[in-house]
C-alpha cells in the first residue's frame, strides 16, 4: 500500500490532515504532499505507516 492510500484511509477514518501531522510530528503541508503521492522524508513516511497500522488494528478489534 502506498503512503497516499494510507493517508486517504486515515482521512476516511476521521483524521484531519492536521491531526495526522501532529501524530506524525510533521506539518500539514507535508501530509498534503503525501496524500498527493509526492516524495516525503523516509522517517515521516514510517510515522504515517505506524499510525495507519495502529488505526487499522484498532478498527479490526472493534469490528
pLDDT for residue 62 = 85
Contact between 23 and 52 (Cβ < 8 Å): no
Residue-wise pLDDT tens digits, 9-40:
999 999 999 999 999 999 999 999 999 999 99
Comparing C-alpha atoms, which of 59, 43, 52 is closest to residue 6?
52
Q: How far apart are the first and last CA of the chain?
A: 22
Domain count for the chain: 1
Domain that holds residue 25: 3-62
Residues in the chain, overall count: 63
Residue-wise pLDDT tens digits, 34-51:
999 999 999 999 999 999
Give the number of other Cβ atoms within 10 Å of residue 33's Cβ.
Answer: 18
Question: What is the model's pTM?
Answer: 0.90
Amino acid at each position: 500500500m502506498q503512503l497516499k492510500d494510507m493517508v486517504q484511509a486515515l482521512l476516511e477514518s476521521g483524521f484531519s490532515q492536521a491531526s495526522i501531522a501532529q501524530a506524525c510530528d510533521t506539518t500539514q503541508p507535508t501530509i498534503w504532499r503525501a496524500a498527493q503521492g509526492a516524495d516525503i522524508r523516509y522517517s515521516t513516511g514510517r510515522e504515517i505507516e505506524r499510525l495507519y497500522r495502529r488505526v487499522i488494528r484498532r478498527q479490526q478489534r472493534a469490528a
